[in-house]
Structure 1
Amino acid sequence: MKTLILVRHGKSSWKEDLPDHERPLKKRAFNDADLVIKAFKLQNNYEPCVFSSSAVRALTTAKLFKEALKIEDDKFSVKKELYTFEEGELLNFVRNADDSIQNLMLFGHNPAMTNLTNQLGDDMINNLPTTGLVVLQFEIDSWKDINSGKTLVKLFPKMFR
């Protein structure tokens, strides 16, 4: 059994004229992350291995989760290839994950996150909102075999405001 946790980065700021990769989070994103993290903590204790996009907004979001969930440094990595908007590239990353990882948590970008959620899960969503989190479960032993799974959890900030 494998569990994939997908988290879209928090709401980013367009206040400054920065390259896309360098855009920071808006203040609202920190509150949204707190709301989703609190709800996620009430779920099963997944003890995930975390991989984040290198974009500032995704990495900042991932670090908020890392701290709140007490994720060890050796279970937290930044991967340039997760700075993608294509679900095929995300799926390729997942399929190449080490099979010793049972719970894989990715921080990334839309439309890739929404599209991958809909491709792999059994509960379609129109849009994975900023700081939205989805937990998908698969009856597999190897990430290479990932195909269709079950959508276990959907946590969106507006559910808790």
Structure 2
Amino acid sequence: MKQIILMRHGKSTWDYDVSDKDRPLQEKGIKDANVVSNTFRMHAPKLDFAFSSPAIRALHTSMIFVRNLGLDLAQFKVEKSLYDFSGDGVQQFVSNLDNNLHTVAIFGHNYAFTSLANSWGDQYIENVPTAGLVYITFDVDDWSRISKGTTKQMVFPKHLNK
């Protein structure tokens, strides 16, 4: 079985004159990433690895998640192809994952994550919000063969008491 956790970056700010990749999280994005990761931690599967887009907002969100779940940084990598908004780059990346990895977390962006959550999962999601998490399982042993899986959990900030 393969399991994937898709987590969209927290709410970012447009207050600085920086490139899209360099936009930081707002305070709300930091709080939401903490609340979502701490909520998920209560029922989280053991992660084999976590990957993040190189965008600062995704990277910061991933570091909050990694810290809150107690994942070793040796089990974390920044991956350029995850700076993707269509979902094609993420899908290609996932299909090439090492099959020795069974459960991975990926931190990135919309529209890619809403599209993939709907394509891979069995529950329709209108929009994966900022700091939103979708956990999907697949009854296959090869990442290149994942298609329709089971949406096990969705953790969205608006559904949590802050």
The code of the aligned residue for 2:153 comes to: V
Tell me which residue corresponds to 2:67.
Answer: 67
Tell me which residue corresponds to 1:158.
Answer: 158
- Distance in 1, matches of 2:61 and 2:92, equals 22
Alignment of 1:113-128 (within 5 A): 113-128=113-128
TM-score, structure 2 as length reference: 0.97
SS across alignment from 2:11:
coil
Structure 1 residue ranges without an equivalent (≥5): none
SS across alignment from 1:137:
strand
TM-score, structure 1 as length reference: 0.97
- Distance in 1, matches of 2:55 and 2:47, equals 23
Tell me which residue corresponds to 1:37.
Answer: 37
- Distance in 2, matches of 1:44 and 1:7, equals 13
Matched residue pairs, number?
Answer: 161
Retained in 1: the 8 A contact 2:45–2:103? no
Shift of 1:89: 1.4
Tell me which residue corresponds to 2:9.
Answer: 9
The code of the aligned residue for 2:138 comes to: F
Structure 2 residue ranges without an equivalent (≥5): none
SS across alignment from 2:61:
helix
The code of the aligned residue for 1:2 comes to: K
Tell me which residue corresponds to 1:144.
Answer: 144
Shift of 1:115: 0.3
Identity of aligned residues (%): 40
Shift of 1:44: 3.5
Gap change, CA 1:134 and 1:80, over 3 Å in 2: same
The code of the aligned residue for 1:76 comes to: F
